[in-house]
Chain A
Amino acid sequence: MLKKINCIINGEPKEIEVDVRESLLDMLRNRLHLTGTKQGCGVGECGACAVLIDGNTIDSCIYMAVWADGKNITTIEGISKPDGSLSDIQQNYVDKGAVQCGFCTPGFVISTTALLNKNDDPSRDEIRRGLSGNLCRCTGYQKILDAVETTVEQRRNSKK
């Protein structure tokens, strides 16, 4: 059964016809070709498919596409600046060596973005908790935490 939904994706209003059986992840990747959002486990354990809905992180693999009707969605493609250059969070992931195979990175960047929007001065423990819904099998997490801490520090310094 197809259903028409309206939502805002990365700032652009969209009207999309979706199958009611589709996940938001299916819709983003297969209909809109926004393939930055990854499918990892498919059951909400790994966070590779994380996107922002009205500013909150959710796992798009366990979110029905029809639920996106009327929502404001940000995917990893909407995190980079309009000219394609990286956000400060993304740049720090690169600079701090927080990206190895890279499959988990879009989810981590989404979770980091939401975390820092909510809390601009998180402790290392708060960062760990904010990113606890994302798994990385390469880095051992330390460099990811470093990248987030560096972003916090840079943002604090630029405000001075």
Chain B
Amino acid sequence: MYQINGYLEASTISEAIDYLNKNDNAQIIAGGTDVLIKTRERKGGYVDRDLVGIMRIPELKGIKVDAEGNIVIGATSSFTEVEENEIIKSNIPSLCTAVGSVGGPQIRNMGTIGGNVANGATSADSASTLFALDTIVRIASKEGVREVPIKEFYLGPGKVALNKGEILTSFVILKKNYEGFKGDYIKYSHRKAMDIATLGCSVMIKINGQIIEELKIAYGVAGPTPVRAKGAEEYGVGKEISQEVLNEIGERCLKDTSARDSWRASKAFREQLIRELPKRAINNAIGGGFNA
């Protein structure tokens, strides 16, 4: 038995919002691959809660392209659904790589991309790629819908910009942020599956000939929240790609991040990864050619 107080199944977004507003003890549960484990482990804040299930809400499901060409990903899309979706595969393959690196098949079949972000973990495999895409987080409450850039959605470890009575409904990836870009996500972990990233690095790059036109570099586990390497990005834009430029990008990424020691890896090791992984990810994204 899970040590919970009760369970309510919401069938619409407004019903879920209603439960959240009425009950201070309510806790949203999507695929359960995080919440139920924390309940089992009796983590603070996850015991004796009234869980509100949202997996049967049709509006939270599905991946589509809207009238402006933006990609909208429903919050309860499972990792498997995102990985195997044709829209994502043909437009943002690095997001397929990212969600495909989560846990194992059973976890990917249940865990959702919304939950991956809403729980506020810096190690979330989907988060760094969503950062590199300048994703917009769509949030519903009884007042209506508001949109928050993903970098403002993360407030600290395990803390996100969801107020009482609010629910994350979807992610919007603007056309200008994926069209013409190439990308790659590299998860560095000790095992190839069923592991949490020691460090994750996601890159989106637009090149014209050998000139970097746009560059976005985002990390997981390189700070208390996922983070963009703005200084390195600004340095890279306009430069002709060369080994020296890649090396300098790696060095500058270090200044934009704040890795620390944990039992998984030392700060020094993480800093080495922070230097190396963007070079490899850029190299993979543009189809190779550098000694990354």
Contact = CB atoms under 8 A, between A and B. Distances in A.
Contacts of B192: 128, 132
B9 to A, nearest CB: 7
A130 B100 CA distance: 11
A132 B194 contact: yes
7 closest residue pairs by CB, A with B: A133-B104, A132-B193, A20-B7, A21-B1, A133-B106, A62-B36, A59-B106
B105 A130 contact: yes
A42 B192 CA distance: 21
B245 interface: no
Interface string B26-37: 000100110011
Interface in B159-197: 192-194
Interface in A1-59: 1, 3, 19-23, 26, 42-45, 47, 50, 56-59
Contacts of B106: 44, 47, 50, 57-59, 111, 133
Interface stretch (A63-71, A77-85, A87-95, A143-151): A63-71
Contacts of A1: 6-7
A60 to B, nearest CB: 9
B223 interface: no
B53 to A, nearest CB: 7
Given A44-B103, A63-B110, 14 more contacts: A1-B6, A20-B6, A44-B106, A57-B105, A57-B109, A62-B33, A62-B110, A64-B2, A64-B51, A64-B53, A67-B32, A114-B105, A115-B105, A130-B105
Interface size class on chain A is 20 to 34
Interface of A: 1, 3, 19-23, 26, 42-45, 47, 50, 56-59, 62-64, 66-67, 111, 114-115, 128-130, 132-135
B33 A56 contact: no
Contacts of A57: 105-106, 109
A134 B104 contact: yes
Contacts of B193: 129, 132-133
Nearest to A107: B106
A73 to B, nearest CB: 14
Given A44-B37, A58-B106, A133-B106, A67 B55 contact: yes
